[in-house]
Structure 1
Amino acid sequence: MNKSSTLDQIPEKMTLRRQLIRLVLLAGFTYLGFCLMLAFLQRKLIYVPRAAPVLLAESGYPEERIREIVLSVDDGLNLYGWYCLPDTGKAPASPRLALIFPGNGGNRLNRVRILELVNDLGCAALIVDYRGYGGSHGAPSEEAIATDCRKVWGFATGELGFSNDQIIVFGQSLGGGVATRLVWELCQENQAPAGLVLQATFTSLVDAAQHRFPWLPVNLLLVDRYPSINRIPDITCPLLMLHGRQDEIVPLQLGERLFAVAPEVSANGIQKRFVELPDAGHNDIYHVALDDVIKAKREFLDSIQDASRGTD
């Protein structure tokens, strides 16, 4: 090869190098821009409410068994919910209340099946929509929801007249993080509820998001983190966890890791229990594994009742 042809190739190599650098920079800026967009919009991705107000008649409940709840929270906003009573033939001699914290989508109208199941187990049910859901005012965030949960707890133990040892806290998916935080706070104040039931929930929202978006730096981006794995070791009440093996949104492994760090036995001597639902995913548990769910929850409630009788 002569000298002139070698010199002719130099500009071509420099051009190719510049193009590669431009592509790398473009990809980097695109990725950074996408991350910034997700950081800015993250709460719209985490919380997916059906914001429209819900009428009592839409629930399908007999009017004598359901009551609309309106709670005024500290910043002057109103939250809306339902208080649902079991059929009188299914109510136990000692009243119990299920305090329900659902997942991130829809509103309380989408939880009627859960309310009915709880009532069939003999418990009254209280569900209050998060901010921005079902006609509730405001916008959801981890801290705002945590503050509102204390209002809901105060309503249950105040106006409704339930003692802490008559209340079972239910948390599903994102609501598992909400419920775990509430119960963690109550246990620190020696006001532990009768029990905690967690369904299809995670170690932390960071872990759940990392599973779904492994190519994103979610640990740096997320503001609302729901670190249940740091809180559940301090929970002193009885614990039941249920999780579908086919769950692709919150993998079974996250539920197992959360369960592993929970105390083996509650303060009143009840062994923690994990129920794996082999054929269930994340959103189809009540369709695929209803009998197993009912059995597990009934046994859990019975164990709480037996422990209560043993301390009387």
Structure 2
Amino acid sequence: MAFLFLFLGLGALALEQANPLLIYPYDATEQPPSPAAYGARIQAYDLDGPEGRVVVWAVPPRGNKPTVFYLHGNAGNLANRDGRFRRLRQSGFGVFAPAYPGSSGSEGRPSEAALISTVKFAYDSLKSDGQFATFDGPVVIYGESLGSAVGLGLIEALKASGDQDLPTGIVLEAPFSSISDIAQATVGDIGQIAPVFMDSWNSAKRAAAISLPLLVIHGKQDRVVPISQGQAVYNAAGSAKKKIMRVPDANHVNLWASGILTQLFGHMALKDLGL
């Protein structure tokens, strides 16, 4: 989170200019990664989205398993999630992972609005584009870190558009409550510029408006996004069916290596996340 110092230093000058630093400061990909280059048994699709080309990595589910609409975190790109996609695929889940604007071959400039409009377009394509007809079962949103904020923004956008074909549930991994909150947790009092970030990536506010079944997973040893923020998102959520999994020995990057996958995948495979 060292990039937060620069992000905060820019302040109101340029929330727009700072957004790329927040969204994926470590993705220096010059050539779009391809699944084949990583040995992934998954297909890349190019879609014509609102910001230009949208790259999606996808594989259909087996049996009656849901498709996991995967929204990754701010470090790296789709290729860095190959191991996670492989585990999902091996467990029978479908995977549908859109690349954010400016990353993994997708076109456009990253911003909160651009990411949300891009993933909404990808979700609508999953539901209506004939080439994805084999993905006709339930869909679970999975948001990893920053992706949790994107996922909540997606739900808000779907509801605002009157979309009736909503996901069956949403899983948030290490969510932060807002940029303002995570900045204060990371660097201390941000003083007069706090209002600049008040509504930027405000996940707690968006969570209050959701009614989907919700599962939050968060490591108790997380020093990047303190578990108190995941708890705040969980507490704020309007979902009647919700659960938080507090993982004792996990930090921000090793939740999937902490022995929770059997329980996590078990929830994701069930109607209403088994809640």
Secondary structure, in 3 states, of the residue corresponding to 1:106?
A: coil
Q: After superposition, what is the alpha-carbon deviation per residue over 1:96-141, rounded to whole angstroms, capped at 9, x for unaligned? A: 2110001011110001122122223321101111011112222210
Distance across 1 between alignment mates of 2:237 and 2:11: 36
In our comparison, the structure showing a higher alpha carbon Rg is: 1
Matched, 1:68 2:40: no
Give the TM-score normalised by the residue count of structure 2: 0.84
CA distance in 2, matches of 1:150, 1:210: 30
Match of 2:158 in 1: 186
Distance 1:85 1:246, change over 3 A: same
Taking a change above 3 Å as real, the CA distance of residues 234 and 38 of structure 1, as seen in their structure-2 partners, is closer
Specify the alignment match of 1:43 in structure 2: 19
How far, CA to CA, are the matches of 1:42 and 1:305 in structure 2?
Answer: 36
Counterpart of 1:133, as a letter, is S
Identity of aligned residues (%): 24
Cα separation, 2, equivalents of 1:223 and 1:59? 39
Q: Which of the residues 112, 115, 133 maps onto 2:103? A: 133
Moved more, 181-190 or 152-161: 181-190
Corresponding residue of 1:275: 245
Taking a change above 3 Å as real, the CA distance of residues 122 and 39 of structure 1, as seen in their structure-2 partners, is: farther
Q: Which moved more, 1:250-259 or 1:115-124?
A: 115-124
* TM, length-normalised to structure 1: 0.75
Q: Select 2:180's aligned residue among 206, 219, 228.
A: 206
CA distance in 2, matches of 1:301, 1:79: 27
Instruction: Indicate the residue corresponding to 2:215 in structure 1.
Output: 240
Considering Cα pairs closer than 8 Å and 6+ residues apart, tell me whether 1 or 2 has the greater RCO.
Answer: 2
Distance across 2 between alignment mates of 1:105 and 1:300? 24
Distance 1:254 1:102, change over 3 A: same
Matched with 1:310 is none
1:20-169 mapped onto 2 (5 Å cutoff): 35-36=9-10, 39-40=13-14, 42-47=18-23, 48=25, 49-52=27-30, 53-62=32-41, 66-75=42-51, 77-85=52-60, 91-92=62-63, 94-159=64-129, 160-161=132-133, 162=135, 166-169=138-141
Aligned residues: 258
| Structure 1 spans left out of the alignment, 5+ residues | 1-30, 266-270, 308-312
Q: Residues 121 and 51 of structure 1: is their aligned pair in 2 closer, same or farther, counting only changes over 3 Å?
A: same
Instruction: Output the CA distance in 2 between the equivalents of 1:79 and 1:50.
Output: 18
Using the TM superposition, give the Cα deviation of residue 223 of structure 1 relative to its aligned residue in structure 2, in angstroms: 8.5
Give the structure with the higher percent helix: 1
CA deviations on 1:25-60 (whole Å, 9 max, x unpaired) are xxxxxx9xx834795452243022233311231231
